[in-house]
Amino acid sequence: MCRHLGWLGTEVSLSALVLEPPRGLLVQSYAPRRQKHGLLNADGWGVGFFDGGVPRRWRSAAPLWGDTSFESVSPALRSHCVVAAVRSATVGMPIEISATAPFTDGRWLLSHNGVVDRAVLPLPSSAESCCDSAILAATIFERGLDALGDTIAEIGTADPLARLNVLAANGSRLIATTWNETLSILRRPDGVVLASEPYDEDTGWADVPDRHLVEVSADRVTLTALDTKGTR
Ligand code: GLN
């Protein structure tokens, strides 16, 4: 389904992260390599980035590969902390900007790669769209990102078919979960990348094991197994 990417490090351009890598999100929008569900990510794209402490978003419900405006402007947009995604809408979900990641509560940017039965989620009034990912994002924002691992384990237990790879950033931290979808990590000299799949052939990419929480800050990366009791 969707593919997403997070960056925490020194300032880099959005085009260097999203458009230029040989197997980056632009190429993943039409030729993903590790995607288990769906062939294309043509139902929209979004890039969120921190401008100082302020999260800013550029989203579209059209394919990334046709966006000549983003192609033109993105080399001039630079940030130290980015969340970006290309979307393959789940059957039945609306194709609209408000259903497209990243979602925000004004402090965090958040993307969801996967699917969840909306019947197991509350219906937070703050959800931007009726899309499962928008409702999941609002639920996570309400419970707080410090509880992300518990929230995902709980929802994954309530919906055994759920796929719950979440990626979020607040300008100084990147956090992500793996739950039935792929995620890789690359530690570069200038920062850390989390991505649904490697964007190039660098031998430094490592796969994050399933059902884990990854936390990245300026000085460390931590992996914690999620509490999966009752889910297998
Ligand atoms: N279920 C979400 C949507 O419809 C995310 C889909 C995905 O991961 N491809 O947008």
Using a 6 Å cutoff on CB, does residue 90 contact ligand 1? yes
Burial bucket for residue 134 (CB in 10 Å: 0-12, 13-18, 19+): buried
Mean of the per-residue pLDDT values of the chain: 96
The reply to whether 104 falls in a domain is yes
Percent over 90 (pLDDT), the chain: 94
The reply to whether 231 falls in a domain is no
CATH number assigned to the domain comprising residue 146: 3.60.20.10
pTM of the model: 0.96
The reply to whether 232 falls in a domain is no
Give the nearest ligand 1 atom to 87 CA. 9
pLDDT tens digit sequence for 63-91: 999 999 999 999 999 999 999 999 999 99
119 HSE (CA, 13 A, CB side): 4
| Strand partners for 225 | 212
Give me the domain span that covers residue 195: 3-225
pLDDT given at position 1: 54
The reply to whether 146 falls in a domain is yes
Token pair belonging to 65: 């590969």
Using a 6 Å cutoff on CB, does residue 87 contact ligand 1? yes
The reply to whether 158 falls in a domain is yes
Is the per-residue pLDDT at 124 higher than 90?
A: no
Burial bucket for residue 95 (CB in 10 Å: 0-12, 13-18, 19+): middle
Which residue, judged by its Cα, is nearest atom 3 of ligand 1? 89
pLDDT tens digit sequence for 190-220: 999 999 999 999 999 999 999 999 999 999 9
Cα 41 to ligand 1 centroid, rounded to whole Å: 10
pLDDT given at position 229: 61
- Number of domains, the chain: 1
pLDDT given at position 232: 45
Active-site annotation holds for 131:
no
Using a 6 Å cutoff on CB, does residue 196 contact ligand 1? no
Mutate which of 100, 110, 133 for ligand 1 pocket (most atoms within 8 A of beta carbon): 133
pLDDT tens digit sequence for 99-109: 999 999 999 99
The reply to whether 230 falls in a domain is no
The reply to whether 135 falls in a domain is yes
- pLDDT-derived band of residue 166, with 50, 70 and 90 as boundaries? very high
The reply to whether 38 falls in a domain is yes
